[in-house]
Amino acid sequence: MSDGGDFFDLLKSEGYQFPANVIAGVEGDGKGLPFHPTEGTTILALRYQDGVVVAGDRRATAGNAVLYDRADKVIPIDRHSVMAISGSPAMAFEIARILEHSFQYHRRRQLQEMSIEAKLRRLSLLIRDNLPMAVQGIGAVIPIFATYDTRGDVGRIYFYDALGAQFEVTDFATTGSGAAAIRGVMYYTNRWSGTPYPELSRDDAVGLSLRLLFTAAEYDSATGRYERSTDIPPTVKTITSEGQDDIGEDELRDLHTRFLD
């Protein structure tokens, strides 16, 4: 028996064959057809002068197949909170929906926003409740939660593991399949580029995010790269004291030309 933690690897090691009509919607005996759950890929967040920039590529994959190239992995939760997702989109979008409704219910019932501590705890519990799916290897969700602390007048970034443990980072976070390619780059540029991330202007922070996603795509086939021929830019949002805001596609194209060409 396999000692691994992936439920599907265990089934395959015991000789189980997944029916093709179950995993692919086609006729056949399924022999030799692997099951690959859909996954979101690279997301990142970094602090800048006015708050936090959160960005994600648009690709969703299953194994080495590109299933979708217009996925939005940066999800607004409330006025001052954004959740970026990697891992299983099905589980992540459901967690985001429940989280958004929880925040709305609290605001309407208490006539004030939920505290940051309560928001973080609520998300942690939702991820922990998803543990059975994560253990089976088909539903792990590894999010980044970014918010603006109006009490301290500062942007905050948190990341989670698959068990729901929550960690706050000072200046940046990244997760997903392309994270390994850019985590060291983020540390280096934050510490030794001459301008720490919290001192960056909005345009410089967004431009850096585009460069980082482009770098991740260079070394990770699961991360989607912005190409003018397809014209599908990444999803980028900012969170400030004024609330969360989308960076529009026209502005992203202009910033891409400015910072990457």
Same domain, 13 and 48: no
Give yes or no: 41 in active site.
Answer: yes
Same domain, 91 and 127: yes
How is the chain split among helix, strand and coil, in percent rounded to 5?
Answer: 40, 25, 40
Same domain, 10 and 67: no
Cα pseudo-dihedral 163, 164, 169, 174, rounded to 10: 60
Instruction: Give me the number of domains the chain comprises.
Output: 2
Same domain, 60 and 100: yes
Distance CA 233, CA 242 (A): 24
Same domain, 49 and 31: no
Does the predicted TM-score (pTM) go above 0.75? Answer: yes
Same domain, 131 and 165: yes
Q: Give the closest residue to 75 by CA, choosing from 62, 64, 91, 63.
A: 91
Given the residues 38, 41, 170, 195, select the one marked as catalytic.
Answer: 41
Same domain, 169 and 104: yes
Same domain, 116 and 214: yes
Which is higher by pLDDT, 138 or 213? Answer: 213
- Asked if 237 and 246 count as a contact pair (C-beta separation under 8 A), the reply is yes
Query: Which residue range(s) make up the domain with 9?
Result: 1-35
User: What digits encode the pLDDT tens for the residues 214-226?
Assistant: 999 999 999 999 9
- Asked if 198 and 49 count as a contact pair (C-beta separation under 8 A), the reply is yes
Residue 250 has pLDDT above 50, yes or no: yes
